[in-house]
Amino acid sequence: MKRILLNEFKEYENMKKKDLEKDIGNFSPTVVLPLIYNEKVDFKKIESIRKINVKNDNSEEISNEILEELKINKNNITPLKFVFHELIANIYDHSKFKNAYVMGKNDGEFYEFSFLDDGITIPISLKKLDFPIKNDCDAVIKAINGLSSKNELGYIERGTGLNNTINIVTSGSEGEVLIVSGCALIHINNNNVFARKIPKDCIDGTLVSLRMNLDSKIDIYKYLKQVKYELIQ
C-alpha cells in the first residue's frame, strides 16, 4: 500500500505554514484535526468531528455516531469499536488532555479515522519510567511494543491495546497507521516501520491516524496478539 497518510501529514505541514482558507471540509482527518486549534479555520460545518469529554467517558457514543454516519458494514462494527475503545482509552489513561477529538471519513475506497489530544505526548508520558529511551521516535516505538506509563500497585502494566490496534489495521484491513507525538512521526504499513523527527511545535499533543480497507470482514481474534515492530536501520 502507498504511504497515503505520510503524504497527508506533509500536506498539513505545508498548510500550517500558509494562510488558511476557512473551508477545509474536503480534507482528510489527518489534515483537519491538527488544524483544529487554528482560529482561522471554521470547523462548524464538519459534522464528522466529535469531542471527547474530559470528565465523562463518551467513547461509546462517539464510536456509535461516527460508524453510523459513515455507514460501516455491520460485519466490521466490532473490530472498529475495539479500535475506538483502545485509542480513546489511551487518551484517558495517559495523556492528561484538556481537549481531544475524533474524526472519520470515507474517501470512496478507504476509511480514515484520526484521534487527536492536546495532552503531554507519548514521549513525556514514558520519561518518568526508569527505562532507557533514546529519543521521541524510540519512545513511540516502545509504546507500540507494549511499554506503558500506567502503574497499578507499584507494577508497570504492559500495554497491548495500541499494538493490537496496529495489527488489526495493517494486517486485518491491509491499512496503515500514522502516529505523531512530541518530536516523533511513526508510520507503519505491511509491518514496515518508518520514522522521522519533526519540530516540537508541529502539532499540539498526539495524533493517531488510521487508514483502512473495510471491504472484507476482519476476524479480530486473529490479530489480538503481540507483534514486535522495529525500525529497519
**Residue 178, domain CATH:** 3.30.565.10
pLDDT of amino acid 109: 85
227 in any annotated domain: no
Contacts from 186-190 at CB under 8 Å and sequence distance 24+?
Answer: 186/137, 186/140, 186/141, 186/144, 187/3, 187/5, 187/6, 188/144, 188/229, 189/1, 189/3, 190/1
pLDDT of amino acid 108: 83
Average pLDDT over residues 58-65: 96
Average pLDDT over residues 16-34: 79
Selection from 101, 106, 135 nearest residue 208 by Cα: 101
Contact 112, 210 (CB under 8 A): yes
> Looking at the chain, which runs of residues are DSSP E strands?
49-51, 100-106, 111-117, 147-152, 155-158, 176-181, 184-189, 192-197, 206-212
Q: Mind listing the pLDDT tens digit for each residue in 166-222?
A: 999 999 999 999 999 999 999 999 889 999 999 999 999 999 999 999 999 999 999
Could you tell me the residue range of the domain that residue 177 belongs to?
4-222
233 in any annotated domain: no
pLDDT of amino acid 1: 53
Number of domains in the chain: 1
Q: Mind listing the pLDDT tens digit for each residue in 114-135?
A: 999 999 999 999 987 778 899 9
Reply yes or no on whether the pLDDT at 232 is more than 80: no
Reply yes or no on whether the pLDDT at 154 is more than 90: no
Reply yes or no on whether the pLDDT at 155 is more than 50: no
Contact 170, 177 (CB under 8 A): yes
**Which residues, in sequence order, are bridge partners of residue 108?**
none
C-alpha cell at 68: 453510523
pLDDT of amino acid 150: 62
Reply yes or no on whether the pLDDT at 107 is more than 50: yes
Reply yes or no on whether the pLDDT at 149 is more than 70: no
12 in any annotated domain: yes
230 in any annotated domain: no
160 in any annotated domain: yes
Contact 173, 212 (CB under 8 A): yes
27 in any annotated domain: yes
pLDDT of amino acid 174: 93
How confident is residue 156, by pLDDT bands cut at 50, 70 and 90? very low
Q: What is the DSSP letter of 54?
A: S
14 in any annotated domain: yes
pLDDT of amino acid 115: 98
C-alpha cell at 221: 481474534
231 in any annotated domain: no
Please name the helix (run of DSSP H) or strand (run of DSSP E) that holds residue 79, with its range, or none. helix 77-90
pLDDT of amino acid 130: 77
